[in-house]
A and B are shown apart, each in its own frame.
Chain A
């Protein structure tokens, strides 16, 4: 995880994170039926205006925040043109919101593209395979139009080896490829990128799903240029197949600019040591595993490892640690004090094993861990990491009725120790309102609060009451909150509070919550900044869906699955809002054409492009 663009999420939208270019679709807070914007390709302006535009362009070059750019482009035609000429970063939060050709016509000098595809619930297998979000039409348009494209970031897109080949062939200055939660490509495509993108600086593969069968793996690491490379970041911990280690060692040795390296789990400590020796300048290291390959007699590999870490004075971020053998953990002590980011979320550690490490990590700002460390482990975190900004606690056993060792007690510890906390993701089985309230008061800077009580409909473990009071405190006291995920037993009251106080919330995730249509109504009417709303298994019906009609153009998307929706309600929405694409997604593989009245999955989003043409059989666009 990189501090700057962790997960490519939009949770922190302040000025410092101004890498993102403006949204193409309008972002007004009123509900006016905003049209597609000023016409493209009108007659050239008079001379005086031309001068003004040139001046304006020079000024607008400095504008990087996408919100500012959006605003600037709406001033008048002249500004619209100037802004279009000077935009360098294109951000498209929903690949179906606009057609590729339209983007390419408006913005002609793009150097960096960020593109997001499937809805987030696709990560949890709620979106059937083959739904869409193909990168192909985009890469073809970009390939034809953007000779100077340097950077592509994709999230939840379907990317094929052919697409990667087009990238390699079309963009001679290409520098940065980041793929997050994508699928459809293989080591073959990686080989093409490695071989032909001679100026490649960043190749980051984060939680992608590669298509390789083990016997068809291509040795892509060997395909990087044999000369000194300009690589700065190479992340491939999600590539499950083995790779050519010797080639990697050579690659690292001839990449003097390499700062970030995250390897996959086919690397043991002995090999890690060799890599670190070749690259003492690393700032971010993903260790792959953290186990010894072979124990040979009485030789203690610890010795070499300690000096390897000791020599890495620049390390600020450590991750990996799969299949961890805790006896080797002391090796990282030399770097603990410098660490700002530590990811133990694949390391099955107890509190005793975590303690000596975390006690030394005074400067930690980002910490991901498994709940195996228990409440006691979190106490140690709270006592040691006063500067913590982001905490994620994942379940060792990600099943609903697993026995999690973290609870409200751990959350309480964290709230008392880590006052500067901005973002938290917390999986647990037992929670109390009191702990959530405490966190809301102790951590007023919270921007992201995601609590996942894994057992469905679980109430406060002490009082037996719904978790309404806890979330009420969160939305009331955390005045900067923009992202919220709720869980546990929740009544409509919880949503009333969210609608009443959650005025800055942009992203809301709801699962197994609420009593009636009223719940959803509160949210739609109250959360004026709501952009992304994803709901599953909650008793919201057509009435609540229709109550949101005035607001859907202000949102990027709405996802509702396993709720009480019917075709009647969804069709009414589609009829009423022509610039909304309303998709009804079925799971069924039945061949019957008859329409089922109940809607299992609804995905609606605003779009300038109209109904997409690549719809699979199980999707119906109303």
Chain B
């Protein structure tokens, strides 16, 4: 967080030289970015689709196959790869990201997370679907015509409250910012700064308070109001259905539904 700015003269001068260096570094970065910008028209498209590529990786890890709604595009003359076909386990994204045509995504399919009234089930839209050209549509750049600013804003809207048993405060996390359970737990660990993650051999993860050895189990309340263990369902499903998170003391967590088998 910001500290109050002191405006001593020497500091001002230092700030100025620092800024000059900042300026130069920034210019250089900009030049480098332009050079490695292999497909310039997709600069912002790429930023968006990288995020969805990451989440598609997670779905593969959990063994379920989700239709991607990512905006992807084939590089002209380049190899075409379906988004998510190459799992990239690395945390950061590589500088040149290759994109593939998501041409196989049928209209109206959103994956498991969508609600019951999918567009291809209601009678009117069935008529309109029937009217559409028969071939599955490839995604196109810039359609629908919504500015990147708006798209980026609407993406990260999955804030949930996180409560810890025994602590008097809540925090908020944006589930969309993470690509998997490990990232989320790491973030929780940093946030509450008093836990370490202890991995159990059967893939259970618990957070432990090193001071008193108390174990906490991450749980969440889903859309139906049931309290579940975090990690039971595929990540995307979790993001979709999670309303809030509670780090429950292990001793109290015995009454929760038993862990489901990983599919």
Residues of A at the B interface (CB closer than 8 Å) are 121, 123-130, 161, 181, 186, 188, 191, 207, 209, 211, 213, 216, 218-219, 222, 226, 238, 242-247, 265, 291, 293-297, 322-323, 345-346, 348, 394-403, 427, 429-430, 452, 454-459, 461-462, 464, 489, 511-512, 536-537, 587-590, 618
Q: How far is the CA of A294 from the CA of B42 in the complex (A)?
A: 38
Question: Which chain B residue has the least Cβ–Cβ distance from A403?
Answer: B119
Q: Which of A245, A396, A618 is B40 in contact with, Cβ under 8 Å?
A: A618
Distance from A322 Cβ to chain B, minimum over Cβ atoms (Å): 6
Q: Does B200 sit at the interface, judged by CB under 8 A?
A: no
Q: Is the CB of B147 within 8 A of A207?
A: yes
Q: How far is the CA of A56 from the CA of B137 in the complex (A)?
A: 62
Q: How far is the CA of A245 from the CA of B25 in the complex (A)?
A: 26
Q: How far is the CA of A96 from the CA of B144 in the complex (A)?
A: 28
Q: Does B118 sit at the interface, judged by CB under 8 A?
A: yes
Give the most central of A124, A219, A322: most B CB within 10 Å: A124
Q: Is the CB of A399 within 8 A of B5?
A: no
Give the most central of A123, A213, A512: most B CB within 10 Å: A123
Q: Is the CB of B154 within 8 A of A124?
A: no
Q: How far is the CA of A294 from the CA of B107 in the complex (A)?
A: 40
Are A394 and B146 CB-contacts (below 8 A) given A211-B26, A323-B159, A403-B114? yes
Q: Is the CB of B23 within 8 A of A161?
A: yes
Q: How far is the CA of A512 from the CA of B132 in the complex (A)?
A: 13
29 contacts between A and B (CB under 8 A): A124-B147, A126-B141, A128-B40, A129-B34, A130-B37, A188-B23, A209-B148, A209-B149, A213-B29, A222-B5, A226-B7, A242-B2, A244-B5, A246-B4, A291-B172, A348-B154, A394-B146, A394-B150, A398-B144, A398-B154, A402-B69, A403-B110, A459-B131, A461-B124, A464-B127, A464-B128, A512-B143, A536-B142, A590-B76
Distance from A428 Cβ to chain B, minimum over Cβ atoms (Å): 10
Are A130 and B150 CB-contacts (below 8 A) given A246-B2, A291-B172, A430-B125? no
Q: Is the CB of A430 within 8 A of B41?
A: no
Q: Which of A323, A395, A461, A512 is B146 in contact with, Cβ under 8 Å?
A: A395
Q: Does B22 sit at the interface, judged by CB under 8 A?
A: yes
Distance from A511 Cβ to chain B, minimum over Cβ atoms (Å): 7
Give the most central of B117, B128, B171: most A CB within 10 Å: B128
Q: How far is the CA of A295 from the CA of B169 in the complex (A)?
A: 6
Q: Does B257 sit at the interface, judged by CB under 8 A?
A: no
Are A245 and B2 CB-contacts (below 8 A) given A123-B145, A294-B169? yes
Distance from A18 Cβ to chain B, minimum over Cβ atoms (Å): 28
Q: How far is the CA of A537 from the CA of B144 in the complex (A)?
A: 13
Give the most central of B37, B40, B125, B139: most A CB within 10 Å: B40
Given the complex, which residues of B lie within 8 Å of A161, measured CB to CB?
Answer: 23, 26
Q: How far is the CA of A457 from the CA of B137 in the complex (A)?
A: 11
Q: Is the CB of A123 within 8 A of B76?
A: no
Distance from B231 Cβ to chain A, minimum over Cβ atoms (Å): 25
Q: Is the CB of B140 within 8 A of A297?
A: no
Q: Is the CB of B142 within 8 A of A126?
A: yes
Question: Which chain B residue has the least Cβ–Cβ distance from A223?
Answer: B5
Going nearest first, the 9 A-B pairs with the smallest beta carbon separation are A124-B142, A128-B40, A244-B2, A398-B146, A129-B40, A128-B41, A222-B5, A401-B107, A454-B144
Q: Is the CB of A294 within 8 A of B124?
A: no
Given the complex, which residues of B lie within 8 Å of A618, measured CB to CB?
Answer: 40
Given the complex, which residues of B lie within 8 Å of A395, measured CB to CB?
Answer: 144, 146
Q: Is the CB of B41 within 8 A of A464?
A: no
C-beta contact mask, B135-174 vs A, less than 8 Å → 1, else 0?
0010111111111111101100101010000001111100
Distance from A294 Cβ to chain B, minimum over Cβ atoms (Å): 6
Are A219 and B69 CB-contacts (below 8 A) given A123-B145, A398-B150? no
Are A458 and B128 CB-contacts (below 8 A) given A346-B153, A403-B114? yes
Distance from B136 Cβ to chain A, minimum over Cβ atoms (Å): 10
Q: Which of B40, B146, B168 is A296 in contact with, Cβ under 8 Å?
A: B168
Q: Does B13 sit at the interface, judged by CB under 8 A?
A: no
Are A511 and B145 CB-contacts (below 8 A) given A186-B26, A464-B127? yes
Q: Is the CB of B38 within 8 A of A589?
A: yes
Given the complex, which residues of A lie within 8 Å of B182, measured CB to CB?
Answer: none
Q: How far is the CA of A297 from the CA of B142 in the complex (A)?
A: 46
Given the complex, which residues of A lie within 8 Å of B110, measured CB to CB?
Answer: 402-403
Q: How far is the CA of A461 from the CA of B130 in the complex (A)?
A: 10
Given the complex, which residues of A lie within 8 Å of B50, measured CB to CB?
Answer: none
Q: Does B39 sit at the interface, judged by CB under 8 A?
A: yes
Q: Which of A128, A216, A456, A462 is B26 in contact with, Cβ under 8 Å?
A: A216
Q: Does B198 sit at the interface, judged by CB under 8 A?
A: no
Given the complex, which residues of A lie within 8 Å of B240, measured CB to CB?
Answer: none
Q: Is the CB of A400 within 8 A of B143?
A: yes
Q: Is the CB of B145 within 8 A of A429?
A: no
Given the complex, which residues of B lie within 8 Å of A454, measured CB to CB?
Answer: 143-144
Are A247 and B2 CB-contacts (below 8 A) given A238-B149, A294-B170, A296-B168? yes
Q: Which of B45, B117, B124 is A125 in contact with, Cβ under 8 Å?
A: B45
Distance from B145 Cβ to chain A, minimum over Cβ atoms (Å): 5
Q: How far is the CA of A587 from the CA of B161 in the complex (A)?
A: 44
Given the complex, which residues of A lie within 8 Å of B172, measured CB to CB?
Answer: 291, 293-294
Given the complex, which residues of A lie within 8 Å of B25, measured CB to CB?
Answer: 216
Q: How far is the CA of A126 from the CA of B143 in the complex (A)?
A: 10
Given the complex, which residues of A lie within 8 Å of B139, measured CB to CB?
Answer: 400
Given the complex, which residues of A lie within 8 Å of B213, measured CB to CB?
Answer: none
Q: Is the CB of B170 within 8 A of A457?
A: no
Q: Which of B39, B118, B128 is A455 in contact with, Cβ under 8 Å?
A: B128
Q: Is the CB of A587 within 8 A of B128?
A: no
